[in-house]
Amino acid sequence: MSIWQSEEFDNHEQVCFFSDQETNLRAIVAIHSTARGPAAGGTRFKSYPTDDLALDDALRLSRAMSYKSALAGLPLGGGKAVIIGDPREIKSRELLLAFGRFIDRIGNVFATGEDVGFSVADVEVMHEVTPYVGGTSKGAGDPSIHTATGVLHGLRAVAEFRLGRKNFEGMTFAVQGLGSVGWRVAQHLHDAGAELIVADVDAERTTRAQEIFGATVMDTNDIHAVEADILCPCALGGVINMSTAPQIRAQAIAGAANNQLASPEAGVILADRNILFAPDYVINAGGVISGVEAMQNMPGRSNFDAAPLEVLLEKIYGRLLEIFVRSEKENLTPEATANAIAKELIESKPVKEFA
């Protein structure tokens, strides 16, 4: 299939195909937009049933990165790389170096980092041959710390808009998933005086939450339907679907997990039931935001200008309020409103010339 016919093609600026026979490397880099600045996006390393699906993934994920960065107020565009193949079978130091040399060839319009199947250690190998990588251990550190901080700013907006609350004292949060982000979110909420209901497939984590936070533990199959002020999905995607959406009893849903809505229709059910949904790619942008420092230090970026990390993280609060107010006014779901604002930002005047 030709790129131009793909349903995921959205006038992407540049798509590169790389192959290196010696290391079995086959990679696609899609640059959706550099209107707001150099494109940034991680590298996904996985097998795909067909090459067309790999291309679709690169096209779709790179556009999502444009939206995410625009709404985070970053002077960045959107891009994404995929390496086709099972990383357990073909990942090697030589392959990573070959990939790094290809990324270097693209130059200062794209930088990449970790994603599914691609670790910080892999990024560091690439760094030996290209400066165009972010998220090494020398950068802003573990992105989940910043993602959790961003989620907290987002939860402030949700609590204020939906529940008229200025603090979390005495509110009840149902946290689904106590991993790198979820645990930190739970910790912050506990410190702020909130009550916690938690679920995780890892019983050790829920037991610890019970001991440390006095949390109530729920079955992983039931937590979405628990009575709480805010449901905070921090585990899997697709948790809000046509069968779970009618069961939600929380007043709002806001958490770190990617792609929480299985479909736009699930978002419509929430809106019809007056359950406020915080678009996940807006509230979970803290990790991407924390990579901005690395982007600033890349060659050819002398006029790259971004606000300090704390300021950028705090913007999540204001951006979500803007989305909620506008979605109410225009009678759209918050997700649809977020997409519309992202498009407007990308299509409006560029943030700054960078090339």
235 near ligand NAD, rule: CB under 6 A: yes
236 near ligand NAD, rule: CB under 6 A: yes
Going residue by residue from 277 to 316, which x/- string records binding to ligand NAD, judged by CB under 6 A? Answer: -------x--x-----------------------------
* Candidate segments 96-104, 198-206, 332-340, 341-349, binder of ligand NAD by CB under 6 A: 198-206
Q: Give min distance, CB of 84 to ligand NAD, in A.
A: 21
147 near ligand NAD, rule: CB under 6 A: yes
Q: Which helix (H) or strand (E) holds 336?
A: helix 334-347
> 346: which residues sit within 8 A by CB, 6+ positions away?
33, 35, 36, 66, 67, 70, 77
* Identity of the residue, 15 or 76, whose beta carbon is nearer to ligand NAD in the bound complex: 76
Q: Give min distance, CB of 147 to ligand NAD, in A.
A: 3
Q: Is 217 exposed, middle or buried (0-12, 13-18, 19+ CB in 10 A)?
A: middle
* Gap between the terminal Cα atoms of the chain: 32
Going residue by residue from 158 to 197, which x/- string records binding to ligand NAD, judged by CB under 6 A? Answer: ------------------xxxxxxx---------------
Q: Is 192 exposed, middle or buried (0-12, 13-18, 19+ CB in 10 A)?
A: middle
- Residue numbers annotated as active site: 80
Look up residue 29 and give its two tokens: 């880099």
Helix-strand-coil percent breakdown of the chain, rounded to 5? 45, 15, 40
* Candidate segments 5-13, 200-208, 309-317, 344-352, binder of ligand NAD by CB under 6 A: 200-208
66 near ligand NAD, rule: CB under 6 A: no
- Alpha-carbon span 310 to 153, nearest angstrom: 11
From 28, 194, 228, 257, residue interacting with ligand NAD (rule: CB under 6 A):
257
* Identity of the residue, 54 or 234, whose beta carbon is nearer to ligand NAD in the bound complex: 234
Q: Is 299 exposed, middle or buried (0-12, 13-18, 19+ CB in 10 A)?
A: exposed
* Identity of the residue, 9 or 317, whose beta carbon is nearer to ligand NAD in the bound complex: 317
Maximum Cα–Cα distance for the chain, whole Å?
60
* Identity of the residue, 169 or 202, whose beta carbon is nearer to ligand NAD in the bound complex: 202
144 near ligand NAD, rule: CB under 6 A: yes
Count residues near ligand NAD (CB under 6 A).
25
Q: Give min distance, CB of 347 to ligand NAD, in A.
A: 25
Q: Give min distance, CB of 132 to ligand NAD, in A.
A: 21
From 195, 200, 229, 335, residue interacting with ligand NAD (rule: CB under 6 A):
200
E strand segments, the chain: 14-20, 25-33, 39-40, 43-46, 77-84, 110-111, 172-176, 195-199, 216-217, 230-233, 252-253, 276-277
